């Protein structure tokens, strides 16, 4: 009997990708096909397995990629074809998500399905605005109401007379277009004009915007603020708690859009740190890490490890590539027994320690010149430098000048990694507040991509944003290319870069 597949109706949460459930993330990672809505976080789509099919079926007020009936048919077809489908729906699939209709179509077709509940914006958006929907000192009841329905129609399913005064907190989803009608109905049916109201746009995301007022004036305030969908509207006394409980929009980098130019494999660490401080990271990897074209020199150096006094690593990539090749040759860290290890900074040292290798030397300043100045017993020592293909010569030259015998070996190469036609859209779309550079390669490759797409005006396109560099070498590269640098980290690490950005923004 042919397998009819499996369809998971997954609540993708309200916007913050960190609010996806553990089971929801598992469904995304193991799906053959991912069918997703407009408000699903793009970051969640990066979690899909290689080769998985992505199908967009998003809806907005005036445009539907697919009508609901066709979405139902699509899920049935994929299920009948034996696919494992993750149907990602913003918020929770059974709260105004039409998940019941999709589940019904699957049941009728005899296709196995599961419901994976999600965090709804009805609770999450107020929470991120500092508004609890219930509070013992204010109310023990709340209701979630669709904001799409016209309150004035004769066959309305909303009993305004009861909800206006019978429920403590009212949460309206997607109702900003009907806001004048909603406030009129609540006032007409007895809700006090001074009842607090909050409008939360893009709740749980770095671009979240919150406007507060009362039933009497919230329509005017919404117009003044230019509030547009998607919006969650909260009506009730609990809105007054926002002033003391707000926590998300007070973060130091809240609302800042930050371009992350690191490689795909390394971007997530910087993005996660920025997101934790309230920023919206925009990942545009400008480099990719690949092995050397000729592995023989690296293999020869690894086989000769016992002949070296020191191995000095100048990057996390160097550690990963070197140890990765060592393991591929059938060896392990025992091959480095008796060899002293140096690391250019704490991140590189941490990567060595993670692999159970003790680090003998880390300079106080994390640049090549500091390694040369701070090391003792250099004269006559044999040193191996596993490095990038185009690494600066300063370290090798400095050590040789002090009497060391230095062998440099290419451990990895950095090549441009530029998604065609994308950077122009990023620069010309929503405001980009900060651009981060973590190496000279990221600077050169971003400039090359922008120049190719924007043309002669590339400096002006980049000049609108704050430029933040991880250290002086990266900063020098940027300045040589005519870019004004605003931030240079004192500690040349990701943590140091983030701290420098925070200090600049708060200054």
State the pairing for strand pair 231-235/169-173. antiparallel
DSSP characters over 321-343: HHHHHHHHTT--GGGGTT-EEEE
Strand (E) or helix (H) holding 98: none
For the record, the structure tokens of 60 come out as 């907005």
DSSP characters over 342-400: EESSHHHHHHHHHTT----B--SS-SHHHHHHH-SS-TT-EEEEEEETT--SHHHHHHH
Place of tokens 């193991």: 30
Q: For residue 81, which phi and psi values (nearest 5 degrees)?
A: -80, 5
Strand (E) or helix (H) holding 103: helix 99-108
- Provide the annotated active-site residues: 37, 59, 174
Say if CB 109 and CB 80 are below 8 A apart.
yes
Residue 81: count of CB within 10 angstroms of its CB: 14
For the record, the structure tokens of 246 come out as 């707000």
C-alpha–C-alpha distance, residues 233 and 241, integer Å: 15
Say if CB 501 and CB 253 are below 8 A apart.
yes
Say if CB 48 and CB 24 are below 8 A apart.
no
Residue 4 CB-density burial (10 A; 0-12 exposed, 13-18 middle, 19+ buried): middle
Question: Which residues lie below 8 Å from residue 118, measured CB to CB, with a gap of 6+?
Answer: 10, 11, 12, 13, 20, 21, 24, 89, 91, 92, 93
C-alpha–C-alpha distance, residues 478 and 487, integer Å: 12
């Amino acid at each position: 009997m042919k397998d009819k597949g499996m369809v998971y109706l997954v609540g993708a949460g309200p916007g913050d990708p960190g609010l996806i459930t553990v089971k929801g993330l598992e469904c995304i990672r193991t799906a053959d096909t991912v069918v997703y809505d407009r408000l699903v976080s793009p970051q969640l789509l990066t979690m899909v397995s290689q080769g998985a099919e992505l199908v967009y079926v998003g809806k907005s007020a005036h445009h539907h990629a697919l009508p609901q009936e066709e979405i139902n048919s699509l899920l049935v077809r994929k299920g009948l074809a034996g696919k494992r489908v993750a149907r990602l729906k913003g918020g929770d699939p059974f709260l105004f998500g039409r998940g019941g209709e999709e589940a019904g179509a699957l049941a009728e077709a005899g296709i196995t399905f599961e419901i994976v509940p999600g965090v709804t914006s009805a609770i999450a958006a107020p929470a991120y605005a500092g508004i609890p929907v219930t509070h013992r000192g204010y109310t023990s009841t709340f209701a979630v109401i669709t904001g799409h329905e016209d309150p004035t129609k004769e066959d309305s399913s909303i009993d305004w007379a009861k909800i206006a005064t019978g429920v403590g907190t009212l949460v309206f989803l997607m109702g900003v277009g009907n806001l004048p009608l909603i406030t009129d109905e609540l006032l007409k049916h007895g809700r006090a004009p001074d009842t607090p109201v909050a409008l939360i746009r893009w709740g749980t995301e770095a671009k979240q915007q919150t406007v507060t007022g009362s039933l009497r004036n919230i329509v005017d305030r919404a117009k003044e603020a230019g509030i547009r969908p998607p919006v969650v509207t909260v009506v009730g006394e609990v809105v007054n708690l926002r002033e003391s409980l707000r926590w998300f929009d007070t973060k130091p980098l809240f609302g800042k859009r930050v371009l992350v130019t690191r490689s795909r494999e390394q971007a997530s660490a910087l993005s996660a740190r920025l997101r934790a401080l309230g920023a919206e990271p925009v990942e545009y990897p400008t480099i990719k890490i690949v092995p050397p074209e000729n592995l023989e020199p690296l293999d020869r150096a690894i086989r000769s490890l016992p002949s070296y006094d020191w191995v000095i690593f100048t990057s996390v990539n160097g550690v990963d590539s070197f140890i990765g090749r060592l393991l591929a040759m059938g060896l392990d860290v025992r091959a480095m027994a008796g060899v002293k290890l140096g690391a250019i900074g704490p991140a590189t040292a941490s990567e060595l320690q993670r692999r159970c290798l003790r680090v003998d030397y880390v300079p106080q300043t994390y640049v090549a010149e500091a390694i040369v100045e701070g090391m003792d017993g250099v004269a006559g020592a044999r040193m191996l430098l596993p490095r990038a293909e185009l690494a600066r010569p300063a370290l090798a030259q400095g050590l040789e000048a002090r009497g060391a015998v230095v062998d440099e070996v290419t451990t990895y190469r950095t090549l441009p990694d530029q998604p065609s036609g994308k950077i122009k859209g990023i620069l010309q779309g929503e405001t980009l507040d900060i651009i981060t550079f973590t190496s000279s390669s990221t600077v050169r490759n971003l400039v090359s991509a922008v120049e190719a797409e924007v043309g002669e005006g590339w400096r002006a396109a980049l000049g609108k944003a704050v430029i933040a560099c991880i250290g002086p070498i990266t900063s020098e590269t940027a300045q040589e290319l005519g870019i004004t640098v605003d931030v240079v980290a004192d500690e040349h690490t990701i943590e140091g870069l983030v701290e420098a950005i925070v200090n600049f923004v708060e200054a």
